[in-house]
């Protein structure tokens, strides 16, 4: 289960946004993650977005099996502004619990493009990614907002974004795959027409070559298929399904709930 601890957080961050909306009404999306047909993780994301700013909060916890084996949970928060020239993150905070250990990473984006990094407890991971590679990179939450904003454009999701999560530096490349459909099933609340997008993670620095078989392996690109479907009163596109094919099978996230968040 160490694999799940390393990849579920980044995947759920990708699901944790619906793109800048016209009205600032916080929304909570619920997702269930399955691997090889087994329920693994439930996550909830609270989104507060408009045309000028974003704030995203994520809480994820392992199901009964994952909790028994690893006592894993993950939370993340990100905030920033939205402008004509793109997404401008200000702060990202990620916290992971695994087998009784808590690791926290905080990123503060500076106007110069530099990123101030704080670890609790202290870590040597900062030295694995040179400062010049971290400059102007987006954090995982900011990247999710950027991908979803691109998905809501006329041409569908498309773009390349430099990403730094506090330990690893990678490029995220999104390519529109055109219209598709989600069939009715017992996992998701969504069924119907959707837009499909391929999102590829290209490692740059900070990856451990010992992580064989995982989505975060040095020198190995991984692609997630993401389906965006219209939901809510304004029929805004939100992620309704995310799938990553790995050596041992598929990891799939299904949208299971949508609700207005409490103010």
Residue 144 has pLDDT above 90, yes or no: no
Percent of the chain with pLDDT over 90: 49
Query: In sequence order, what are the residues at sequence separation of 6 or more whose Cβ sits closer than 8 angstroms to the Cβ of residue 183?
Result: 191
CA atoms within 13 A on the CB side of 27: 25
Integer Cα distance of 152 and 112 in angstroms: 29
For residues 64-91, give the mean pLDDT: 91
Do you find a cis peptide bond into 98, omega within 30 degrees of 0?
no
Percent of the chain with pLDDT over 70: 85
Indicate the length of the chain as a whole number: 263
In angstroms, how far is CA 214 from the centroid of its own chain?
16
pLDDT digits (tens, 9 = 90+) for 179-238: 999 999 888 999 999 999 999 999 999 887 765 545 566 667 889 999 998 876 667 788
Residue 3 has pLDDT above 50, yes or no: no
Task: Identify which of 47-61, 120-134, 159-173, 224-238 has the greatest average pLDDT.
Answer: 159-173
* Structure tokens belonging to residue 147: 């991908």
Cα angle 159, 162, 166 (rounded to 5 degrees) comes to 145
Write down the mean pLDDT value for the chain.
83
Give whole-number Cα distances, 140 to 42, 91, 99, in Å.
19, 11, 24
pLDDT of residue 15: 52
User: For the whole model, what pTM was predicted?
Assistant: 0.85
Task: Identify which of 80-94, 139-153, 205-219 has the greatest average pLDDT.
Answer: 80-94
In angstroms, how far is CA 107 from the centroid of its own chain?
16
Contact 95, 73 (CB under 8 A): no
CA atoms within 13 A on the CB side of 194: 22
Integer Cα distance of 177 and 156 in angstroms: 8
Residue 261 has pLDDT above 80, yes or no: no
Integer Cα distance of 86 and 8 in angstroms: 26
* CB neighbourhood size of 28 (10 A): 16
Integer Cα distance of 53 and 251 in angstroms: 31
Handedness of CA 114, 118, 119, 121 (dihedral sign): positive
pLDDT digits (tens, 9 = 90+) for 7-30: 444 444 555 544 434 445 788 889
């Amino acid at each position: 289960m160490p694999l799940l601890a390393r990849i579920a957080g980044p995947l759920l961050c990708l699901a944790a946004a619906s793109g800048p909306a016209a009205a600032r009404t916080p929304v909570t999306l619920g997702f269930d993650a399955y691997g090889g047909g087994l329920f693994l993780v439930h996550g909830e994301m609270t989104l507060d977005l408009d045309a000028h700013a974003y704030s995203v909060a994520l809480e994820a916890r392992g199901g009964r099996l994952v909790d028994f084996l690893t006592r894993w949970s993950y939370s993340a928060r990100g905030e920033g502004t939205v402008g004509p020239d793109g997404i401008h993150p200000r702060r990202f905070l990620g916290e992971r619990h695994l087998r009784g250990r808590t690791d926290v990473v905080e990123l503060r984006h500076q106007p110069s493009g530099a990123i101030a990094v704080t670890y609790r407890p202290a870590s040597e991971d900062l030295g694995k990614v040179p400062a010049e590679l971290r400059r102007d990179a987006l954090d995982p939450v900011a990247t999710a907002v950027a991908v979803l904003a691109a998905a809501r454009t006329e041409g569908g999701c498309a773009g390349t974004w430099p990403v730094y999560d506090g330990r690893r530096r990678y490029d995220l490349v999104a390519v529109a795959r055109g219209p598709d459909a989600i069939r009715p099933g017992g996992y998701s609340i969504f069924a119907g027409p959707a837009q499909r997008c391929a999102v590829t993670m290209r490692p740059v620095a900070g990856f451990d070559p010992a992580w064989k078989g995982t989505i975060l392996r040095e020198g190995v690109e991984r692609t997630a298929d993401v389906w965006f479907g219209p939901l809510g009163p304004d029929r805004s596109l939100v992620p309704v399904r995310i799938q990553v094919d790995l050596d041992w099978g598929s990891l799939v996230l299904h949208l299971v709930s949508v609700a207005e968040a409490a103010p």
